[in-house]
Chain A
Amino acid sequence: MRKGVQLILAVACCLLLNTAGWAWAGSIVGVVKPQGLRSPEGILVYVAKAPAGPTDGSQAKFIMDQTQLAFIPHILPVLVDSKVEFPNNDKVAHNVFSLSRAKKFNLGSYQPGEAKTVQFDQPGVVDLRCDVHQEMNAYILVLNNPYFALTDKEGRFTIPDQSYLGAHDVKDVPPLSPGKYLVKTWHEKLKTAKKKIEISAAGDTTIVFKPKRGAPGVLYK
Chain B
Amino acid sequence: MSKKKALSAILLGLAVAVAAPLFLVHEAHEVRTHEIEFTAKKYGYSPARIIVNRGDTVVLRPTSLDVTHGFLLDGYDVEAVIKQQGLAYLKYTWTDDEGKAHTDWDKVREVEFTADKSGKFTFRCTQTCGNLHPFMTGELIVQDNTPYHVAVSLSVWLTLSLLLWAHTGSDSEIHRAWRVNLLEAVPLLKRAVKARSFQFLVIVPNLVFFYLFMLSGLWGSPVGNRNIAIIFVWILWWTLLKALMLPFGGRVWCLMCPLPAPGEWLSRKALTAVRYLNKPLRGLHHRFLGLNMDWPKKLRNIWLQNALFLVLISFGIILLTRPVATAIVFLVILAATLALPLIFRNRTFCLYLCPIGGFLGTYSMAACTELRAIDPKVCRNHKDKCCLVGGEGGWACPWGEYVGNMDRNNNCGLCTECIKSCPEDNVGVFLRPFGSDLNLRSFDEVFNVLIMLMVALVFSVTMLGPWDSIKQAANVTESRQVFLFLTYLGVVLGLTVVVFPSMFLLASKAAQILAGGRVMCRDIALRVAYIFIPLGMFVWVAFSLPQVMINYSYILSVLSDPLGLGWDLFGTAAYPFKPFHPETIPILQGVLVLAGLFFGLNRGFASLSALLTSRRETTRAMVIPSVLALVVVNVFLKLYMG
Q: In the complex, which of the residues A35, A37, A39, A135 contacts B107, with contact meaning CB atoms closer than 8 Å?
A: A135
Determine if A70 is an interface residue (Cβ-Cβ < 8 Å).
yes
Does B87 lie within 8 Å of A70, measured CB to CB? Answer: yes
Does B85 lie within 8 Å of A36, measured CB to CB? Answer: no
Residues of B within 8 A of A91 (CB): 85
The B-contacting residues of A in range 21-72, CB under 8 angstroms, are: 35-39, 68-70
Determine if A213 is an interface residue (Cβ-Cβ < 8 Å).
yes
The B-contacting residues of A in range 167-221, CB under 8 angstroms, are: 189, 212-213
The A-contacting residues of B in range 86-127, CB under 8 angstroms, are: 86-87, 90, 92, 94, 96-97, 102, 104, 106-107, 109
Complex CA distance for A189 and B107, rounded to whole angstroms: 13
Does A35 lie within 8 Å of B104, measured CB to CB? Answer: no
Complex CA distance for A70 and B94, rounded to whole angstroms: 25
Residues of B within 8 A of A35 (CB): 94, 96-97
Give the interface size bracket for B toward A.
10 to 19
Residues of A within 8 A of B104 (CB): 36, 38, 189
Does B86 lie within 8 Å of A37, measured CB to CB? Answer: no
Give the interface size bracket for A toward B.
10 to 19
Give B91's nearest chain A residue, CB to CB.
A38
Does A213 lie within 8 Å of B102, measured CB to CB? Answer: yes
Residues of B within 8 A of A189 (CB): 104
Q: How far is the CB of B167 from chain A (nearest CB, A)?
A: 61
Residues of A within 8 A of B90 (CB): 38
Complex CA distance for A113 and B83, rounded to whole angstroms: 23
Does B87 lie within 8 Å of A213, measured CB to CB? Answer: no
Does A213 lie within 8 Å of B86, measured CB to CB? Answer: no
Residues of B within 8 A of A68 (CB): 85-87, 109
Given contact pairs A70-B107, A135-B107, A213-B102, A37 touches B94 in the complex (Cβ within 8 A) = yes
Residues of B within 8 A of A70 (CB): 87, 107, 109
Residues of A within 8 A of B85 (CB): 68-69, 91
Complex CA distance for A39 and B112, rounded to whole angstroms: 12
Residues of A within 8 A of B92 (CB): 37-38
Binary interface profile of B, 76-89, with partner A (CB < 8 Å = 1, else 0)? Answer: 00000001111100
Q: How far is the CB of A93 from chain B (nearest CB, A)?
A: 14
Q: How far is the CB of B129 from chain A (nearest CB, A)?
A: 18
The B-contacting residues of A in range 135-155, CB under 8 angstroms, are: 135
Does A36 lie within 8 Å of B102, measured CB to CB? Answer: yes
Residues of A within 8 A of B96 (CB): 35-36, 212-213
Residues of A within 8 A of B106 (CB): 38-39
Does A213 lie within 8 Å of B94, measured CB to CB? Answer: yes
Residues of A within 8 A of B83 (CB): 69, 135
The B-contacting residues of A in range 71-103, CB under 8 angstroms, are: 74, 91
Complex CA distance for A213 and B85, rounded to whole angstroms: 30
Residues of A within 8 A of B87 (CB): 68-70, 135
Complex CA distance for A69 and B82, rounded to whole angstroms: 13
Q: How far is the CB of A46 from chain B (nearest CB, A)?
A: 23
Q: How far is the CB of B273 from chain A (nearest CB, A)?
A: 67
Give B90's nearest chain A residue, CB to CB.
A38
Residues of A within 8 A of B109 (CB): 68, 70
Give B92's nearest chain A residue, CB to CB.
A38
Q: How far is the CB of B99 from chain A (nearest CB, A)?
A: 12
Give A71's nearest chain B residue, CB to CB.
B107
Q: How far is the CB of B55 from chain A (nearest CB, A)?
A: 20
Complex CA distance for A82 and B87, rounded to whole angstroms: 30
Complex CA distance for A183 and B375, rounded to whole angstroms: 93
The A-contacting residues of B in range 39-96, CB under 8 angstroms, are: 83-87, 90, 92, 94, 96
Q: How far is the CB of B151 from chain A (nearest CB, A)?
A: 36
Complex CA distance for A191 and B588, rounded to whole angstroms: 46
Complex CA distance for A59 and B97, rounded to whole angstroms: 45
Q: How far is the CB of B521 from chain A (nearest CB, A)?
A: 66
Chain B interfacial positions (CB closer than 8 Å to A): 83-87, 90, 92, 94, 96-97, 102, 104, 106-107, 109
A sample of 28 cross-chain residue pairs with beta-carbon separation below 8 angstroms, ordered by A number, consists of A35-B94, A35-B96, A35-B97, A36-B94, A36-B96, A36-B104, A37-B92, A38-B90, A38-B104, A39-B106, A68-B85, A68-B87, A68-B109, A69-B84, A69-B85, A69-B87, A70-B87, A74-B107, A91-B85, A135-B83, A135-B87, A135-B107, A189-B104, A212-B96, A212-B97, A213-B94, A213-B96, A213-B102
Given contacts A36-B96, A38-B104, A68-B85, list 7 more A-B pairs with CB under 8 A: A35-B97, A37-B92, A38-B106, A69-B85, A69-B87, A74-B107, A212-B97
The 9 closest A-B pairs by CB, nearest first: A38-B92, A36-B94, A68-B86, A68-B85, A38-B106, A69-B85, A69-B87, A36-B102, A68-B87
Chain A interfacial positions (CB closer than 8 Å to B): 35-39, 68-70, 74, 91, 135, 189, 212-213
